[in-house]
Amino acid sequence: MSGHDPDCLFCRIAAGEIPANKVYEDDDIVAFHDINPGAPVHFLIIPREHVRNLYDTDDGHQALLGKLFGISSRLAREQGLDDGFRIVVNNGRIARQEVYHLHVHVLGGPEPLRAAAKPAP
């Protein structure tokens, strides 16, 4: 598979080598529930291609980036989020990114969400 990093957790989830509670997958992207949810509904949308974060993207990634965001509302509705949701992308050290494979967090639930930014270290 192009852009597969065998040492990357999310590459391995995308490849089916590590189990995850998937909610969607196609040739380009995979979505699965976060193992440590920060909201009643919390899933991640990732590209299959190993891209560390937004610093690793260029003009050639525009369609892929559009797909990651473009499918978010459909998947959110399918997970019962029809009254709003939050999108978070933790990008790089200052944002305390933990998994260096680009991912879009989708968070929601019945109650209004508090700010999702991580506290300063």
Please pick, from the candidates 65, 99, 113, 116, the single residue that binds ligand AMP as defined by CB under 6 A.
Answer: 99
d(CA 59, CA 57): 7
Q: Which does 106 bind (CB under 5 to 8 A by kind): ligand AMP, Zn ion, none?
A: none
Q: Is residue 103 annotated as part of the catalytic site, yes or no?
A: yes
Mapping DSSP to helix (H, G, I), strand (E, B) and coil, where does residue 79 land? coil
**CA 12/CA 6 separation, integer angstroms:** 7
Q: Which of 45, 97, 106, 109 binds ligand AMP (CB under 6 A)?
A: 97
Question: Is residue 73 a contact residue for ligand AMP (CB under 6 A)?
Answer: no
- Tell which phi-psi region holds residue 16, choosing left (phi > 0), alpha (psi between -120 and 50) or beta: left
Per CB under 6 A, 53 contacts ligand AMP: no
Interface contacts to Zn ion, rule CB under 5 A: 5, 8, 10-11, 50, 101
